[in-house]
Every structure is written in C-alpha cells, then in structure tokens.
Structure 1
Amino acid sequence: MKKDIHPECHTITATCSCGNSMKISSTLACNLNLDVCGACHPFYTGKQRDAATGGRAERFSKRFNIPGITR
C-alpha cells in the first residue's frame, strides 16, 4: 500500500431513532443519526406486513363465494 494516500479512520457513534447506538469505524469525523437499524427494522424484527394481501383473484372469489381460486 502507498503511504499518505488513505483517509484517516475514526471511531464514531451511530445513533438510531429508536435509541439504539453503536460504535463503528468511518472516514467521517462526526457522529451519525440513523432512521432505522437492525434492532428496529421490520425485516429483522419480524413485524413486517405482507404487501401482497389481496389480489384480483382473491377479490373475485370473495365477491362470488368461490373457494380455492388462487394464483
């Protein structure tokens, strides 16, 4: 590696809006404020909602009481 061309690495604190904070290494010299982190993101907490609830086939089967019509 060449000398004197790499940026300095600092230890900073990244704070999430949920209150979780973590120490990370970064080339930035200031602390970060995050919107989501692994402690509050819906994918990691398992509290995600299903985006594909109810399609045209489901609405058709509900309208005419036909069970079993799915994709």
Structure 2
Amino acid sequence: MKPNIHPDYEQVAFHDTSIDKYFIVGSTIKSDRTVEIEGVTYPYVPIDVSSESHPFYTGKQKITASDGRVAQFNRRFKNLASK
C-alpha cells in the first residue's frame, strides 16, 4: 500500500438524536466535535435516523396496499372495453 494516502480509521460516536442513543462505530469520518462516553472521548457525529429509530427496522412501518400496474391499467380503461 502507498503510505499517507489512506484516511485515519478510528472509533466514532454517532448520536441518533431522534431517540437519544449513541453508537460507537469504526469510521473514517472527520468531526470537530467530541463527546465523552464511559470515560473515553470520541469524535461526535449527530444523525437523524438509525437502524434503532427507522420505521422499517423497528417494525412500525405502515405498508399501504397498492394495486399492480395491470390493475391500474384495467381500472383506468375499463369503460373502453365495454364498447
């Protein structure tokens, strides 16, 4: 590998602000802010949504029943077929 071309990989604290939960994950993201968690200082990155708060992953996603393309076509042109 070439020296001095790879970003620094370090443990980063991602904060899901919607549910106030912290995730410590290895990342190359840069941040000027820091946070102390359990006596260890980490770079701090706030996020809006994570796997802990996203409706798809929490099972709270509402699934709407939508007709397929054929059903939409038949509904749109049903009056033309009777002529």
Match of 2:15 in 1: 15
Separation (CA, whole Å) in 1 of partners of 2:7 and 2:24: 19
User: Displacement of 1:53 after TM fit?
Assistant: 6.1
Unaligned runs of 5+ in 1: 58-71
Deviation at 1:24, TM superposition (A): 1.3
Shift in Å, 1:36: 0.9
The structure with the greater share of residues assigned to strand is 2
Identity, % of aligned positions:
33
Give the deviation of 1:38 after TM superposition: 1.0
* 1:29 CA displacement: 3.3
**2:7 partner letter:** P
Match of 1:29 in 2: 30
Question: Greater relative contact order: 1 or 2 (C-alpha under 8 angstroms, separation 6 or more)?
Answer: 2
Once the two structures are superposed, the pairs formed by residues 1-71 of structure 1 within 5 Å of their partners are 1-17=1-17, 18-30=19-31, 31-52=44-65
- Tell me if structure 2 keeps the 8 A contact 1:10–1:29: no
What do the CA deviations read for 1:15-63 (whole angstroms, capped 9, x no partner)? 0021111111222232211111111110011111123469xx8xxxxxx
CA apart distance, 1:3: 1.5
TM-score by length of 2: 0.55
